[in-house]
Each structure stands twice: as structure tokens, then as C-alpha cells.
Amino acid sequence: MKKQQLGKTGIEVGLLGLGTLTMSPMQRGLSVAAGAEVILHALAQGITFIDTAQMYGSYPQVAAALSQWKGPAPVVASKSAARAREAMQAAVAECLQQTGLSRVDVFLLHAVRDADDIAARRDALNYLREARENGLIGAVGASSHSARTIDLLAGTEGIEVLHPMYNRDGIGILDASLDEMTDILKRARARGIGIYAMKPLGGGHLRKDAAAALRWLFAAQVVDSAVVGMTSRDEVDMNVKLARDESVDEDFARRVAGRERRLFINTGICINCNACVKTCQQGALSPGEKSPVIDYARCVLCGYCAPGCPKFAIRIV
Ligand code: SF4
Ligand code: SF4
């Protein structure tokens, strides 16, 4: 698989990375052993980049895979939505402790919303920069669904890696068109910032057209890598073929596409507090009579709404 430098970080990543949100307890909820098996298969097929996050709860799956893997160490990226310095310090320590790593290659501010949010996370960012100096982290970055925020982050001191929402149809990109986001990413890349795309399949909306969507992304050369959530050996095999620009049998692609996944609110336990409505950046939730109303066309299955639910009423099924 073609490899690229992740900006000026000195870290090399393959075109295709493995995202662990879909296998995590937030989505499919694969067991630790089953998740590790998918990760190990991905590593054996030449994937060298694993993306995880404090929020996902997938550290045990990553740790189990890394403890069994005999080949060269993959690049591991994680992220935390922590705002305060102490909380970010605890998030990095948790990542290292739970994955078994002595150093995590990339650590991001997770899901930055806007300019105010960048300012609110200043202490957390400063801690990450210190952790980089101390060798706990290889590179510091940030993720966002918002194109304008990505543009601001690209000019923020200390940000070396960006993880933007980016896919063929511009699904989930906030406050800009796909073309505008493409220009922003090209400018950031020209400044030496490493970029890896999130949700290359639009949070499942491009699932049935996955092969074409991934081929578009790999050919576009706008990002250094794209992390795709994978929960089976077949998904790994198909995506690796696409990253290598090999042909994929149509029946196989249809089978891999599998069934659609959707956000589910358990109305039996929801107290209609609307905390999730405020959390959703995509405008996919709105207040309802007994519980929030879900706009499935807007939902990108990012899962940001679930951790803040006081009743654990939100799931992806
Ligand atoms: S946060 Fe949970 S309890 Fe509150 S409205 Fe949303 S689903 Fe219901
Ligand atoms: S409803 Fe939840 S999972 Fe869907 S886009 Fe909004 S925050 Fe993400």
C-alpha cells in the first residue's frame, strides 16, 4: 500500500488506516478478542495506522491486538475532548496505560467546534505540546467536522496534524462546500500539516457505494491517509484492495456493505433532557414531544451525542 509522510511529523502512514469507532462499545460492540482479531488481520494485510479515541472505549481492543502483533509497530493515533490541562494529562495517561504503549504517535483535540472552542482548549493543547516535548506523544493535532474550524486550526501554533470530516459527497462537512473544504485542506497541507480524513464513507451514508467513494478519496491526493471503520476481515480485505487500486468483485462489495446502521434512542428510558440535541453538531437531533427527533439523513453516526446522555439511552444499532 502506498505510504505518505504525515505532514512534517516524520510519521509515515499508509493511504488507508483502521478506525476503531465502529468496532467499539459505542457501535458494534465487538468483544475485545473479536476487535483484536480484526485489527490483527488489518495489520497482516499491510495497514499500519490505527485510529482510536478516549471516547470510543476501544483501547482494550487495540491493546489486545498490539500485544499479539509480531511485526513492525503500527502508527497509533488517539484523541480526547478534554478541555482542562489536568483532564488532558489524565486522558494521555489513560491512553498509554490502557493501550500498553509507552508513547502514542499522534494525539488530537477531539471534535473541536469553533474559534471559541479552540480558545477554551488552550490549556489542553499546551499540555499536549509539553507531552510531545517529553516524548509521551509523537505529534499533536485536532479533529473537527467544521471546515472553518479546520482552517483556524491549521494556523494554530502547535497543531501538526488535522483530522477533518472529508468524503466524496461532502457529507457531514459543516459550514462549507466540499470544494471549499478541499481548498482549506490543500492550503493546510502546503503548510506541512499532516491530514487524515474521518468518515470517508460519510458515517455509513456512502456504504452502498463504498468502493467508488474510497477510490475517489485515494485518487484525490488531498489527504495523507483516511481511516475507515472496519469490523470484519471482509471489510479489511475490500478496503485494502481499494487502497492498492486493485479490482473488487461487485458481489463481494455488496456483501461487505451489509446492513444499514442507525442511531437509536430508547424512548422508554429517555427523560427528554435534550442534552444530546445540544451536543449534536450536525443538526440531526431536534426537541420532540417525548424524546428528541432524529433526522437520519443528517446523522453521520459520530457518536458524540451518546456519552453525555444521563440515561445511556442512545445507541447505534
Ligand atoms: S440525552 Fe439521553 S435522556 Fe436526554 S434527551 Fe437525549 S436521549 Fe433522552
Ligand atoms: S445524532 Fe449523534 S451520532 Fe448522529 S450526527 Fe448527531 S451527534 Fe453524531
Q: Is the CB of 294 within 6 Å of ligand 1?
A: no
pLDDT in tens, 206-242: 988 999 999 999 999 999 999 999 999 999 999 999 9
Predicted local confidence at residue 282, as pLDDT: 96
Q: Which residue has the higher pLDDT, 1 or 134?
A: 134
Under 8 Å CB-to-CB from 246, ≥6 apart: which residues? none
Predicted local confidence at residue 259, as pLDDT: 75
Predicted local confidence at residue 161, as pLDDT: 98
Ranges of each domain in the chain: 3-257, 262-317
Residue nearest to atom 5 of ligand 2 (CA): 299
Predicted local confidence at residue 317, as pLDDT: 84
Residue nearest to atom 4 of ligand 2 (CA): 299
Residue 156 has pLDDT above 80, yes or no: yes
The β-bridge partners of 140 are 107
Percent of residues, the chain, with pLDDT higher than 90: 93
Counting ligands in written order, which one lies closest to the CA of residue 299? 2
Residue nearest to atom 8 of ligand 1 (CA): 270
Residue nearest to atom 1 of ligand 1 (CA): 309
Predicted local confidence at residue 135, as pLDDT: 98
Predicted local confidence at residue 260, as pLDDT: 82
Average model confidence (pLDDT) across the chain: 96
Q: Is the CB of 292 within 6 Å of ligand 1?
A: yes
On whether the 3-257 domain is CATH 3.30.70.270, my answer is no
Counting ligands in written order, which one lies closest to the CA of residue 301? 2
103 exposure class (CB count in 10 Å sphere: 0-12, 13-18, 19+)? middle
Counting ligands in written order, which one lies closest to the CA of residue 280? 2
Residue 290 has pLDDT above 80, yes or no: yes
Residue 258 has pLDDT above 90, yes or no: no
Residue 261 has pLDDT above 90, yes or no: no
Given a contact cutoff of 8 angstroms between Cβ atoms, the answer to whether 54 and 94 are in contact is: yes
Predicted local confidence at residue 59, as pLDDT: 98
Residue 310 CA to ligand 1 center (angstroms) comes to: 7
pLDDT in tens, 100-133: 999 999 999 999 999 999 999 999 999 999 999 9
Fold of 262-317: Alpha-Beta Plaits (3.30.70)
Q: Count other C-beta atoms under 10 Å from residue 116's C-beta.
A: 8
Given a contact cutoff of 8 angstroms between Cβ atoms, the answer to whether 283 and 297 are in contact is: no
